[in-house]
Structure 1
Amino acid sequence: MDLLNGYEEDLLAAAKESKKKAYVPYSKFRVGAAVLAEDGKIFGGCNIENASYGATNCAERTAIFKSVSEGSVNIVALAIVGDNEDFIYPCGICRQVMAEFGEEIIVILENGEGKRKRHTLGELLPHSFTNKDLKEVPRGI
């Protein structure tokens, strides 16, 4: 069964629309992302740069944070779009944030030429650190 239930085109459209809003005065590297929640709601996000580069936020996390802040924590899929010929994969921090919501999340990538790839988060971040790792905290530390 396809967890996207026909939402793939809407999800990618939201990611492309979000990419237009990217705030990238330094790198000019625009990225758009969109999250599909289990209830069918879609939340878009763009990358937001900062002169203090460490304060920059990726499009993927922006979309996830919007979803969670609106009460949709059951994430089914996340789409990522860029302008380049190469596919834009989520960075390590974004993968870790995604892992909080499940390794079965479908990640759809679309490059600037309209080519697509699909992965699960589990494929992109095997052996992730999640809440299950916190349940067996060693004593005496």
Structure 2
Amino acid sequence: MNELEQKLFQLAKDHLSAAYTPYSHFHVAAALATDDGQIFTGINIENSSFGLTNCAERTAIFSWVNAGRPGRIKCLLIIGNTDRPISPCVACRQVMSEFMAPETEVILTDSQGDFDRFTVDQLIPYHFTEKDIQDGANK
């Protein structure tokens, strides 16, 4: 990992303990960097109605959206308290495809620092887009 990715890794790892996981005890954190140098973090936040749970990567992306979407997302790193790099759920992959360019790098890690590197397009190659909505509305 390069220097920025190491910084994202450390920030995300430091946030693992802040995850709100009273039911699963499965901690996940994420950190993203924008091309203008800003960093946003997120943790998973559970709810007793599991469908209302929010994943760490969506929390980080939504924090960036809430801040006015400064810059473009350059990189997203996801870490879990796992023995191998953690993979994002399909809901998170769809949100990534909405707010991140297809070539944006996504780094999947574990708490030991093992990692795999993908692009958004590799994680969700045939994602639902705004064009799909427009095509459906024009019929």
The TM-score with structure 2 as length reference comes to 0.90
Residue aligned with 1:78, SS: strand
Distance 1:7 1:113 in 2: 18
Alignment of 1:2-41 (within 5 A): 6-41=3-38
Deviations 1:75-122 (A, max 9, x none): 111100111112211100000000012222211111132111100010
Distance 2:106 2:138 in 1: 37
Distance 1:96 1:112 in 2: 25
Larger mean CA deviation between 128-137 and 68-77 belongs to 128-137
Percent identity over the alignment?
47
Summarize the Cα distance change of 1:30–1:14 in structure 2 as closer, same or farther, 3 Å threshold.
same
Residue ranges of structure 2 left out of the alignment (5+ in a row):
none
Report the residue type matching 1:100 in the other structure.
E
Q: Does 1:51 align with 2:45?
A: no
Aligned CA RMSD, in angstroms, stands at 1.8
Distance 2:133 2:117 in 1: 30
Distance 2:98 2:12 in 1: 21
> Which 4+ residue blocks in structure 1 deviate beyond 2 angstroms?
132-140
Would you say how many aligned residue pairs link Structure 1 and Structure 2? Answer: 137
The TM-score with structure 1 as length reference comes to 0.88
Residue ranges of structure 1 left out of the alignment (5+ in a row):
none
